[in-house]
Amino acid sequence: MPTDFEKAKQEQERKRKLWLQRRLEKYSREEYKRRLNPQTPVQALRAASEEIEEENNNTESTSRNPERILARLRAQKLKELRKNRDQKGATAKEEIEKAKNAAQRLRMIYRIINGTAAITLVGLIITFLVMNAQLLFGNLLKLKVIPALSKIEIFIILFINFIIIAILFLIILLICTIVAIMMESPIIKFIADFFNLSI
């Protein structure tokens, strides 16, 4: 006993065969008429223009000729491809603009953080570290995630780095001198006597 699905499938197949049979009869009648009454070029042109007018007025009355159907399908596919190409180009441009805007916002955020954090001593340290990170990753390694410093900012951070390194060198030198004095090193005593310093 056939199921509902099989019954529906059989009914659909029967309708399809009936439709094909009617189409075949219609095409054979049209072909018979065409062979009995050949058209002149003017009649063919008139028929084509009438078909185009009917197509514009009512989409139901378009030609069922396989060649005409294929031509319409190709034209429709071409329109869709052009539309998709234009949309893809527009979306790519929009994505590029979004990326540029995001980079500008990120650069402004870094500058705001650097400026506001420089107000306090801890802020100065944070600004120093952030700007060094920007110099290393943004300028030297050229990472796109971290914005690069401008030339003025590079000069400022290099100058500050030089000052900090000089201060650290002097502090280390001072600590070494104090340790040598405490250990009563003969070299330090010689230098102190040379400069007439009392230790």
pLDDT digits (tens, 9 = 90+) for 13-40: 888 888 888 888 887 777 767 666 655 5
Q: Report the alpha-carbon distance of residue 2 to residue 184 in Å, rounded.
A: 112
pLDDT at 50: 61
Q: Which helix (H) or strand (E) holds 43?
A: helix 41-57
DSSP 48-111: HHHHHHHHHH-GGG----HHHHHHHHHHHHHHHHHHHHHHHHHHHHHHHHHHHHHHHHHHHHHH
Tokens of 100: 């540029």
pTM recorded for the entire structure: 0.39
Q: Tokens 């201060």 — which residue?
A: 167
Count of CB atoms situated within 10 Å of the CB of 147: 20
Report the pLDDT averaged over residues 113-121.
72
What digits encode the pLDDT tens for the residues 45-67? 455 556 655 655 555 445 566 66
pLDDT at 126: 80
Q: Which residues contact 94 (CB under 8 A, 6 or more apart)?
A: none
